[in-house]
Amino acid sequence: MNQSVQNYPGLAGSGALAEQRNRVLRNTYWLLALSMVPTVLGAWIGVQTGLMRGIGPGISALIFLGGAFGFMFAVEKFKNSAAGVPILLGFTFFMGLMLARLIGNVLGLKNGGSLIMLAFGGTGAIFFGMATLSSVIKRDLGSMGKFLFIGMIMLLVAGIANIFIQSSALMITLSVLAIGIFSAFILYDLKRVQDGEETNYISATLGVYLSLYNVFTSLLSLLGIFGGEKD
């Protein structure tokens, strides 16, 4: 066997490349699972302390955008150093804190706890579905990136505008679109890892985490609107 590998050096290189891709994918999954811990902790602290409750939606959006983009810049800057993982986990804790307002509103409903679990289960199902699809689909999905990025920017702009418009219909529309766009982002990001286009598991985790976060918040918002039971 060793002799045959020596005779075909390309085979050895291909095996090493496949092993590298699998290692990045495994590390991404492990770090993604770990990132859920500070997210839940941040959300719990936010709900218990009511930290974001007294802040208006406009100021809250500024804090969210400033903090999120600041953390994302830091994660990308230090992704190749020992500080990368702690910064990413700090980012997920911050995102948990920002989630507290939505979680608190849903928990105020009679069936709030079950809605949160349903949104969590739905997000998990979407993730596993996209992860499975990314492992079996053969075509190159590189062309998706540009369209998904444009869709994300449009969602962001419309979401900021709706802070001032306060349109329930627009919020519902944006939530539905966000579930579709960020589900596709999960597929796109995982496929990039499997194709060897993304070789840093911290960057890969950041991308997938953001998509999962947006899918979860959008699902929970829709469930709160259409399935919430008031006391």
Question: Looking at residue 14, what is its pLDDT?
Answer: 64
Residue pLDDT, tens place only, 82-141: 999 999 999 999 999 999 999 999 998 889 899 999 999 999 999 999 999 998 988 888
Q: pTM (2 decimals)? A: 0.89
- Check whether 25 has a pLDDT greater than 80: yes
Classify residue 21 as exposed, middle or buried by CB count within 10 Å of its CB (0-12, 13-18, 19+).
middle
Q: How far apart are CA 219 and CA 151, in angstroms?
A: 18
Show the tokens assigned to 131: 């992860």
The pair of structure tokens assigned to 158 is: 């419309």
Question: Per-residue pLDDT tens for 48-87?
Answer: 988 777 777 778 888 998 999 999 999 999 999 999 999 9
- CA-wise closest residue to 91 among 42, 157, 53: 42
Q: What is the pLDDT at residue 12?
A: 47
* CA-based end-to-end distance of the chain: 70
Q: What is the pLDDT of residues 174-202, one digit of tens each?
A: 999 999 999 999 999 999 999 889 999 99
Q: Which tens digit of pLDDT belongs to each residue from 141-168?
A: 878 889 999 999 999 999 989 888 888 8
Residue 117: per-residue pLDDT: 95
Residue 7: is its pLDDT beyond 80?
Answer: no
